Amino acid sequence: MTNLQGRSARMRTMGRKAIAVSMVCLGLLVGSVLAQGELRLCLRSEPKTFDPLKVEDDASVTIRYLTGGVLLRVNRQTQALEPELAQSWKVSKDGKQITFKLRSGILFSDGTPFSAEDVAHTVQQLMDPALHSPTGDAFRSGPGNVETKIISSTQISITFPTAVAGLDRQFDQVAMLSAHSPQKEMAVLGPFMVADYKAGSTVQLKRNPNYWKTDAQGRKLPYLGSIRLDIQANRDVEMLRFKRGEIDLVNSLDSDYFDKLAATSPQLVHDAGPSLDSEQMWFNQVAKAPLPEYKKNWFRSAIFRRAISQAINREDLSRVVFRGHAQAALGPVSPANKFWFNSKLKAQAYTPDAALKALEGDGFRLENGTLKDKEGNAVVFSIVTNAGNKYRERMATMIQEDLQKIGVHVNVVTLDFPSLIERMTQTFDYEAILLGLTNTGLDPNEQMNVWLSSSENHQWNPQEKSPETAWEAEIDRLMRAQASSADAKKRKESFDRVQEIALEQAPFIYLVNRNALSAVAATVQGAIPVILAPQTYWNVERLSVK
Amino acid sequence: MKLWPTNFWRSSACAVLLLVVGLSLAANWLAPAGYAKQYRDATDASPSPQHWLGTDEIGRDRFARVLYGTRISLLLAPAAALLTTLMAALVGGLGGYLGGAWARGAMAVTDLFLSLPWLFLLITVRAMMPLNVSPLASVLVTFLMLGLLGWTSAARVLCSTAGSLRESDFVRQARASGIRGGRLFWIHVLPNLKPVLYAQFWISIPVFILSEANLGILGLGVAEPMPSWGSLLKELEGLVSVGEEPWKFVPLILLVVVVTAFQLVLSKQAEVAA
Amino acid sequence: MLGKKMARHGLAIVATVLLGGLLSATLVRLAPGFDADEAQLDPHLNSESVQALRHQRLEQHNIFRFYFHSLRRAAHGDLGTSLSLGQPVSRLLRERAPLTLRLVGMGLLVSWTVAMALALSAAWLRVSAYDALTTVISGTFLCIPAAVLALLSVLWNVPGALAVALIVFPRVYRYAHNLLAKAYCLPHIITARAKGLSELRILFWHVVPIAGPQLLALAGVSVSIALGAAIPVEALCGLAGVGQLAWQAALARDLPLLTNLTILVTLVTLLANSSADVIGHMLRGEEA
């Protein structure tokens, strides 16, 4: 090689190196620019705790999602379960044991290494009987202790005394705690960490510098530098602030505001379709309720309940109250829950004539526009709902008019929530209640405490010593069967039957499934609103702000 | 005192009040469909020949609801205001007139009343009422409670006023003339408390109308579908959209007009009395 | 003598404050929903957890025992822990009181300035049309719901103190106007006018002093009105003050927090009204 050729080769090598260095610098620069944006959204209440194991309220759930690192994560878009801190897992055939293989080299936000010991510590804290948290109780399928076995620093198996239905998916809600960090629950594995908290005002989160995830190009996640969560209970003010550009997301948008915003800025609003949530009403079937016997007889009659259900115009409720952003509900599972929804169920049509006929067959008669039972008592009852929820108040008023057409007189009563809860769970001094159910997950096991007749949350007749009707006994059997089986097909069969019985017997009169509505500012990139919570920031580590 | 007003403002005020009362009484003819009928295909509608003030969020005619709501609010709010004014006169006026330990006791009670969270008493009252209580009974109880609890602000001012009057020359002269006790209070002291009493009465009317709507959160107030001015005014809380729907301000304008008319009537009464 | 009177007055204030705390605690305890917690509706919770939630307020069931223990702890500077927020009450009050003080203070200043300006000018001018105009202005603000005024302050990006001022001013204006108008009708005012004194001198030297004690009483009361107005303003404007805390505590039936808040409000009310009484008595030349 001549000197000239050698110099050219050296120049080319230097040039290639310079390009490589520039690319790296550019990547770092882009990464750092991307990591400087702040996402701003509102919490609707004060967070009660930063301890991820004690989380009960929505605000604390939000903070847990943004800061907590979990072993497995339900992809909110595909609804599939994906590895997170655990790179793989295995559930035993009997559904009692789960073994995790953890990723290595992961650090908590304060630099403390993450290992199987932390998982064991978290599970032991979670299963402490004194904890009394929804997260922990979801794993308590039966009496006995939970055993953790640390196989290696990156392998652990957890054994439960009885089978836990959907065991792996439950870990989506369990944020790992450090066994060794002096910061305790403030040392986190999620994309963000709590930087500042001003009570009543804001929670400031900043990027976790030790977050383990990178994107496909090898850039460190999250892209955002910080998140500001403003505590704002009033939805009108939240909307005002979104319109003014002071916040970037409205995670759960009211239908009233959806249409108004869509009229001026359609690109900012998103309707992801029916959510998992439902609105329903039920009658009081508690034997010791302080109600006249004749009313208890009405409420305990499936014919009466079904007739009332038939006389309610669900299409109007969806169209008028929710501006078309809802659909008539069929049962405890929303059609959005594709696997668990019983597609064979027939929609409840609005047929007031058929309702009246059914009631007449049960001994009721219409006299001068008033429906009376066989003893001559006018059918009058109250529907109680929580004050301040304008959609429920409107629904109750529309149901009042619908039932008036079949001679039933309804009094709409709105109460503050604690008073309502007391009537519902302690004094049983109510006739009918209209409330909603928020389903955070897909698995029907989450509704176990609603369907079991002995349960506290068996709302129409809680804590039955033994099932008071044959259909409740059947539901108990079916729910226990699906909870103890690891076979998805068998579980579906059982739960499909539960949905059929629920439609036949109408202990709950399901009204509507609301759509998942949200608003995302144009400055936010990467947002893909979905139906599972958190609808707009489920992929927060990949969001950025222009 | 003259029976018939001669002053322009007072005459206009009386005419306005009579007009409003008349319209509310004629609601059955002016809005025959009633306040509860839901025109579900015309919800949140703008004003039209069928619905002069448009419809609300579930399709009820707003004009009908304003008319029927006037009956409730215009009848009961002044009645509750009268009750509260009488209680203020009793506690504050009498306490100040008697003086000494009576005045101190009355003011201690007043200060306590000002500080206590009466919200919980109202919640308890609602709990004691049957769930199926009629809307009218519910609203009557609401205004009764407001009347019984709303007297504290005026009581303090009345106590101070009555205390000043007790030592005034004309009261001393009346006492020296042999007038004592209730007669002295009724004839010489109470008329001089009228400015504060009128102020209390006037302020209480819109305050009670608004409070009645706020008490809906406890299950008190008017029950659906019965309307009241307070419940109609709550629509204004959707401020983001109300700016584009100015007809929603009609209940507010009506309330301002009625309250102003009351004040003009009362102020002229006060002048005549003085 | 003065010392004895002041000590008696001070004792009366303390007794009233303590009674206020006890009555407040009783009202909260007896109201329905005391043992109810929204968390117990979570379907994930099992029976034991729901029972544990229900029993977390067991120690507060006996109100006298609860109050006695609260006072004993308060004597050592421990005001208890908020059930709904899980934080020490003393810290919550310490963090939030300054904002509310500023909000209420500014609100009162602005409301009194506007109210007295309108009332004095109406009393001085004594023109029907001007009277009607001020009546319409004050009446309009009296008729606008407090929530709407609070939302307007957010919409127009003005301080929450202005919303408080607009809630308080119509009440102050109407009382002040009527008191001044009444004072104008007194015989010695007519004499002063007949003797050729200027209207300004009559207003400030003869009318205002007559109405002074009552206006002072009104000033004391307006503090309570402003504190009440602060609740919806703070709750809606997202201001982390004592008013917002009071509203959250009421919804959650948070007994330790509500008891302490009532004691604080009673103390402020009593101090404001007592100060007004003392100054009023001094102006009248009486012994307080």
In A, which residues are within 8 Å of B135 by CB distance? Answer: 411
User: Which residue is closest to A386 within chain B, CA to CA?
Assistant: B217
pLDDT at B266 over 80: no
pLDDT category of residue B219 using cuts at 50, 70 and 90:
confident
Angle in degrees, 0-180, between the axes of helices B135-149 and B194-214, rounded to the nearest 10: 140
Put simply, whether B45 touches A (Cβ < 8 Å) is no
Kindly report the pTM of this predicted structure: 0.90
CB contact under 8 A, A256 and B241: yes
What DSSP designation does A521 have? -
Strands ordered across the beta sheet of A147-152 = A86-91, A97-102, A155-159, A147-152
Mind listing the pLDDT tens digit for each residue in A154-183? 999 999 998 888 899 999 999 999 999 999
User: How many Å apart are CA B93 and CA B200, to the nearest integer?
Assistant: 13
In A, which residues are within 8 Å of B124 by CB distance? Answer: none
User: How many Å apart are CA B153 and CA C79, to the nearest integer?
Assistant: 30
**Are the C-beta atoms of residues B56 and B47 closer than 8 Å to each other?**
no
pLDDT for res C280: 78
Residues in contact with B110: Cβ distance below 8 Å, sequence separation at least 6, in sequence order: B91, B92, B152, B155, B156, B159
Put simply, whether B101 touches A (Cβ < 8 Å) is no
Put simply, whether B108 touches C (Cβ < 8 Å) is yes
**What's the gap between Cα A323 and its chain centre?**
23
Mutate: best of A232, A234, A235, A236, partner B, most B CBs <10 A? A236
Put simply, whether C140 touches B (Cβ < 8 Å) is yes
Mean pLDDT across the stretch B179-196? Answer: 85
CB contact under 8 A, C262 and B114: no
Shortest CB distance from B224 goes to which of A316, A319, A397? A397
Which amino acid, residue C171?
Answer: R
pLDDT category of residue A19 using cuts at 50, 70 and 90:
low
Mind listing the pLDDT tens digit for each residue in C137-183? 999 999 888 888 988 888 888 999 999 999 999 999 999 998 888 88
Put simply, whether B271 touches A (Cβ < 8 Å) is no
Put simply, whether B162 touches C (Cβ < 8 Å) is no
Mean pLDDT across the stretch B166-182? Answer: 83
CA distance B202 to chain C (A): 8
Instruction: List residues bridging with A158 in a β-sheet.
Output: A98, A148
User: Which residue is closest to A45 within chain C, CA to CA?
Assistant: C248
List of chains touching A (3+ CB pairs within 8 A): B, C
B189's tokens: 């002291």
**Are the C-beta atoms of residues A148 and A123 closer than 8 Å to each other?**
yes
What DSSP assignment string belongs to A315-366?
HHIIIIISTT-EEE--SSS-TTSTTTS-TTPPP----HHHHHHHHHHTT-EE
pLDDT for res C285: 67
pLDDT category of residue C8 using cuts at 50, 70 and 90:
confident
pLDDT for res C6: 79
pLDDT for res A3: 53
Q: By C-alpha distance, which of C227, C166, C225 is closest to B150?
A: C225
Q: By C-alpha distance, which of A388, A269, A264, A387 is closest to A325?
A: A269
**Are the C-beta atoms of residues B159 and B151 closer than 8 Å to each other?**
no
**Are the C-beta atoms of residues A335 and A347 closer than 8 Å to each other?**
no
In B, which residues are within 8 Å of C224 by CB distance? Answer: 114-115, 152-153
Residues in contact with B183: Cβ distance below 8 Å, sequence separation at least 6, in sequence order: none
Shortest CB distance from A446 goes to which of C43, C241, C245? C43
CB contact under 8 A, B219 and A401: no
User: Which residue is closest to C92 within chain A, CA to CA?
Assistant: A199
**Are the C-beta atoms of residues A327 and A513 closer than 8 Å to each other?**
yes
User: Which residue is closest to A432 within chain B, CA to CA?
Assistant: B131
pLDDT for res A11: 66
CB contact under 8 A, A46 and C248: yes
Put simply, whether A389 touches B (Cβ < 8 Å) is no
CB atoms within 10 A of CB B237: 18
Lowest mean pLDDT among A307-311, A450-454, B119-123, C218-222: B119-123
What are the Cα distances from residue C253, in Å, to A55, A132, A140, A145? Answer: 20, 21, 30, 36
Shortest CB distance from A457 goes to which of C43, C48, C92? C43
Angle in degrees, 0-180, between the axes of helices C208-237 and B152-166, rounded to the nearest 10: 170
pLDDT at B242 over 50: yes
pLDDT at C288 over 50: no
What DSSP designation does A301 have? -
* 3-state SS assignment for residue A154: coil
CA distance A268 to chain B (A): 17
**What's the gap between Cα A248 and its chain centre?**
22
**Are the C-beta atoms of residues A140 and A165 closer than 8 Å to each other?**
no
The sign of the CA dihedral C261, C267, C273, C275 is negative
User: How many Å apart are CA A352 and CA A354, to the nearest integer?
Assistant: 5
Lowest mean pLDDT among A471-475, C126-130, C230-234: C126-130
Mind listing the pLDDT tens digit for each residue in A75-100? 999 999 999 999 999 999 888 999 99
Shortest CB distance from B237 goes to which of C28, C145, C220? C145
List of chains touching B (3+ CB pairs within 8 A): A, C
Any idea which residue has 């023109």 for tokens? Answer: C127
Put simply, whether B137 touches A (Cβ < 8 Å) is no
A480's tokens: 């226990």
Sequence-separated contacts (24+) of A364-369 with Cβ below 8 Å:
A366/A406, A366/A407, A367/A407, A369/A407
Q: By C-alpha distance, which of C256, C244, C273 is closest to C21?
A: C256
pLDDT at B137 over 60: yes
User: Which residue is closest to B125 within chain C, CA to CA?
Assistant: C31
Q: By C-alpha distance, which of B238, C33, B232 is closest to A386?
A: C33
Which amino acid, residue A204?
Answer: Q
What DSSP designation does A114 have? P
CB contact under 8 A, C221 and B237: no
As a whole number of Å, the end-to-end CA separation of chain C is 11
Mind listing the pLDDT tens digit for each residue in A267-281? 999 999 999 999 999
B127's tokens: 């709990």
Shortest CB distance from B131 goes to which of A401, A416, A431? A431
Put simply, whether B66 touches C (Cβ < 8 Å) is no
**Is-cis flag, bond preceding A222, omega within 30?**
yes
C198's tokens: 């200027």
Instruction: List residues bridging with A157 in a β-sheet.
Output: A99, A149
pLDDT for res A300: 97
CA distance A132 to chain C (A): 5
Mind listing the pLDDT tens digit for each residue in A301-356? 999 999 999 999 999 999 999 999 999 999 999 999 989 999 999 888 999 999 99
pLDDT at A25 over 80: no
Put simply, whether B203 touches C (Cβ < 8 Å) is yes
What DSSP assignment string belongs to C93-144?
HHHHHHHHHHHHHHHHHHHHHHHHHHHHHHHHH--HHHHHHHHHHHHHHHHS
Chain A, 300 to 339: residues with Cβ < 8 Å from chain B are 316, 319-321
Mutate: best of A239, A313, A413, partner B, most B CBs <10 A? A413
Q: By C-alpha distance, which of A412, A403, A402 is closest to A432?
A: A412
pLDDT at A30 over 70: no
% of chain A beyond a pLDDT of 90: 79
Put simply, whether B81 touches C (Cβ < 8 Å) is no
CB contact under 8 A, B223 and A419: no
